[in-house]
Amino acid sequence: MYANIARRTLAGRIAASAGAAITLLFSVLLAIPAHYTIKNVFSGLCLDDYQFSTSDNTDIVQHTCDGYTNQEWRFVASPTYAVYYIQNVFSGKCLDDYQFSTSDGTPIVQHTCNGYTNQEWVLLAYQGNLGISVTNIFSGKVLDDYGFSTTKNIIRQYHYDGYTNQQWHLN
């Protein structure tokens, strides 16, 4: 039930953005199985499983890109819909909207991959943006370098506003 509601909510958000050209980046990543760093356009910092944690509910931060496996992510296709589970290469844990929150500012954590919608993400490219947004299926919120930080900072979810602190490059 929650999965269908979450998908309809996200579909509504996408439809509301119809004024901008949107590209869904699903088939591209399916064709290229690899590990990626996820780098914030504003800060130039990478998503990081800080201190190589293997624990559930560890906050995901942005940190200086260093090439270690705690900053590498694989995109695992969901069996239905054009969404991914984003799994850390080192810990094997997935990006998780902690406790199915729909609130702005909720920290993003890593958690054992479980197939729930709070761990499903869609990658969207908006015309005119420098990068992609990474949008949670359940909350409809995007990964956000909260407060436009240029130092180590906890990554949070926030409603989409199009600023570069919500845009990411896959390298």
* Number of domains comprising the chain: 1
Regions of the chain where pLDDT drops below 70: 1-33
The confidence score (pLDDT) of residue 40 equals: 98
Query: 126 lies in which domain range?
Result: 2-170
In DSSP notation, 93-141 reads: -EEEEGGG--STTPBEEEE-----GGGEEEEEEETT-SSEEEEETTT--
**Residue 39 phi/psi, 5° resolution?**
-110, 130
Q: Which two tokens stand for residue 10?
A: 């996200």
Q: What is the pTM of this model?
A: 0.84
The answer to whether residues 70 and 48 touch, using CB atoms and an 8 Å cutoff, is yes
In angstroms, what is the C-alpha Rg of the chain? Answer: 14
Q: What CATH number does the domain containing 59 carry? A: 2.80.10.50
Give residue-wise pLDDT tens across range 81-124: 789 999 999 999 999 999 999 999 999 999 999 999 999 999 99
CA distances from 17 to 3, 11, 14, 101, 150 (A): 21, 10, 5, 22, 28
Question: Smallest Cα–Cα separation from 84: which of 117, 126, 111?
Answer: 117
Q: Which two tokens stand for residue 112?
A: 């054992």
The confidence score (pLDDT) of residue 126 equals: 83
With H, G, I as helix, E, B as strand and everything else as coil, classify residue 50: helix
